[in-house]
Amino acid sequence: MKIVLAYSGGLDTSVILRWLKRNYQAEVIAFCADIGQEEELHGLEKKALTSGAVKCIVEDLREEFARDFIFPMFQAGAIYEGQYLLGTSIARPLIAKRMVEISRAENAGAIAHGATGKGNDQVRFELAAAALAPDLRVIAPWREERFRKQFPGRSEMIAFAKANGIPVEATAQKPYSMDRNLLHISYESGVLEDPWFDASSKEIRDMYKLSVAPEDAPNEPEYLELEFDQGNCVGVSGGASSRESAARGVAGALPSTMSPYQVLKTLNKLGGKHGIGRVDIVENRFVGMKSRGVYETPGGAILHFAHRQIETLTMDREVMHLRDGLIPKYSELVYNGFWFSPEREALQALVTETQRDVSGLVRLKLYKGNVIVAGRKSPKSLYDPKIATMEGDTSAYDQTDATGFIRLNALRLKLRALREDK
């Protein structure tokens, strides 16, 4: 039997790899998608082989992740429950897709993952697999009683890893769980399970990897410009101080063309420098419980804000309101694991149409955890100063026209009031 395991090199999947080999008498192929974990990938192949894998496949999927998953989601303005930029959620369908492809190439009959039986990732992996390869068996050790009996908690897993010579970052003194990719880092469990615990406290100051605390960010604001083409950011320029920007009126040269991956990498660096994108939330999991998560999404926070700014200038009002009304549904589909569903694909087609004219430049100011708009312009702009002006020009808009407009919209309100007075 061959099993393709979604492998991160962390505590759970390192232990699961050895457990699958022993309990299923299987050849385990460890697969790790490089979607921006950076230093977490160092020594991964050696660790996987030491842990019992017959092969370790590490593939660079960063560009595909940004282009085909993150950017379409940001075009939709997706944000779950008003706070979460879906960094973990959007990574799972790509990983599952590649696992299915590898299982076909390696003639494996099953795929496996280390998602707990309480979380969302189990749903995301398995719904994606069901959509792409309904014949493949999915093994979820955390849902097997024999696995949970052996490992009732993380302390038992840490002890198992130590006894079997498997190096892992988690310790009994630092037991929180971390998941990193190009879009964000998420932190859960351990001390973070108490929603009253201050995630900005000095006690876990060293937990954060992508950003400084806002109070430790530079005292000087930094300006940057983002160029958009049909709803996608295609270039970033930055590095101007507030004094330089005030003198020139711009952040510098026009943004140079970048790939989606380069855009996010650049924005992560700039956002992290200024303490942008830290979020501490209690969210509603798909399985029914609430959970507390802490996230770092510096580049994503900038991109989401800038995208909205260029939309305000270029999108038709009714098109914007229609798309905005679908944001909760779209976000739920991503969060709950329905990326490869027909309804998400249908929504994406509508989103793509709404982004046709979302092109132009957005100038931002980054300062101590804040993203502040400093200007926007577009050849597709629907803003006309001749119409919007408060001056006396009536050639484009005559205020007296509003009289009938208001009278007609007030008619039903008057009729209702008259009826209730009877």
Q: Would you please indicate which residues are annotated as catalytic (active-site) residues?
A: 12, 92, 121, 177
Query: What contacts 111, CB < 8 A, 6 or more positions away?
Result: 3, 4, 5, 6, 96, 99, 100, 103, 125, 129, 136, 137, 138, 139
Cα distances from 418 to residues 23, 83, 241, 408, 413, in angstroms, run 77, 43, 60, 16, 9
Of 163, 146, 125, 138, the C-alpha closest to 14 is: 163
For residue 282, the Cα-to-chain-centroid distance in whole angstroms is 16
Q: CA-CA distance, 335 to 12, in Å (whole number)?
A: 22
The β-bridge partners of 240 are: 223
Environment class of 82 (CB within 10 Å of its CB; exposed 0-12, middle 13-18, buried 19+): exposed
Q: At what angle do helices 342-354 and 317-336 cross, to 10 degrees?
A: 150
Q: CA-CA distance, 50 to 28, in Å (whole number)?
A: 12
3-state secondary structure of 340: coil
DSSP 253: S
In the chain, count of helices (H) and strands (E)? Answer: 15, 14
Q: CA-CA distance, 269 to 277, in Å (whole number)?
A: 11
Of 263, 218, 215, the C-alpha closest to 242 is: 218
